[in-house]
């Protein structure tokens, strides 16, 4: 191997890593500014000041505020999926009810960690009629598909363990994720997050036992 080839690749990998770290810092700063000032009031200059770079540097990473927001939401979505995957890996072999509880906890804790961001964006869309871009709609669709795929695999175990009826299995991902989304939207609208365990309990109860009173 040419010894000079190694010396050439190392600085490049360092530059890439530094660029990724700078991008992550910009996105974290953007979230803080967005939740404080609101999407419409936030300017790229505000984010640049908060992160401690020139606005020109900011535009080296993102064309405009909308692209920055899109990148932020994509990163948060990947973080959630990674957290869910780690939990499902950790809980392999556990009873279905315990694994479902862990799955729901991942979603609710993630939403709580970024509650002000999601609440602000929901309010922004309602108040000003902000329409999603094609890219954002694709992101939402892909995220829904990724979550549904994980729920489907999880529920296959539930069927095998006798915790779920097999005849309705194809409806379970839509039902469960619809319930979760409804609970989250209600919290975002009133701007008051529930304690995670307080939110999980009715979700588990309604999904596994239904709304029929117990005998």
Query: What is the third-level CATH fold of 72-209?
Result: Tetracycline Repressor; domain 2 (1.10.357)
Q: Taking the alpha carbons of 63, 67, 72, 74 in that order, is the dihedral positive or negative?
A: negative
Residue 131 confidence (pLDDT): 56
Over the stretch 139-189, which tens digit does the pLDDT of each residue have? 889 999 999 999 999 999 999 999 999 999 999 999 999 999 999 999 998
**1-62 belongs to which CATH class?**
mainly alpha
**pLDDT tens-digit map of 108-130:** 999 999 999 999 888 876 555 55
For CATH 1.10.357.10, the residue range(s) in the chain are 72-209
Separation of alpha carbons 185 and 125, rounded Å: 13
């Amino acid at each position: 191997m040419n010894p000079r080839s190694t010396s050439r690749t190392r600085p490049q990998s360092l530059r890439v890593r530094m660029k990724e770290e700078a991008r992550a810092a910009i996105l974290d700063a953007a979230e803080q500014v967005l939740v404080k000032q609101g999407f419409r009031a936030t300017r790229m200059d505000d984010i640049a000041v908060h992160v401690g770079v020139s606005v020109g540097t900011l535009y080296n990473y993102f064309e405009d505020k909308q692209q920055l927001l899109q990148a932020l939401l994509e990163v948060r979505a990947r973080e959630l999926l990674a957290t869910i995957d780690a939990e499902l890996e950790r809980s392999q072999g556990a009873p279905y009810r315990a694994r479902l509880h862990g799955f729901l906890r991942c979603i609710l804790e993630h939403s709580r960690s970024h509650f002000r961001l999601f609440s602000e964006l929901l309010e922004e869309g309602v108040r000003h009629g902000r329409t999603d871009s094609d890219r954002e709609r694709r992101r939402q669709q892909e995220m829904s598909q990724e979550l549904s795929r994980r729920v489907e695999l999880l529920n296959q175990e539930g069927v095998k363990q006798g915790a779920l009826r097999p005849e309705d299995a194809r409806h379970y991902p839509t039902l469960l994720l619809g319930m979760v989304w409804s609970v989250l939207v209600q919290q975002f609208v009133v701007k008051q997050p529930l304690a995670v365990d307080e939110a999980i309990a009715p979700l588990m109860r309604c999904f596994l036992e239904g709304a029929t009173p117990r005998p």
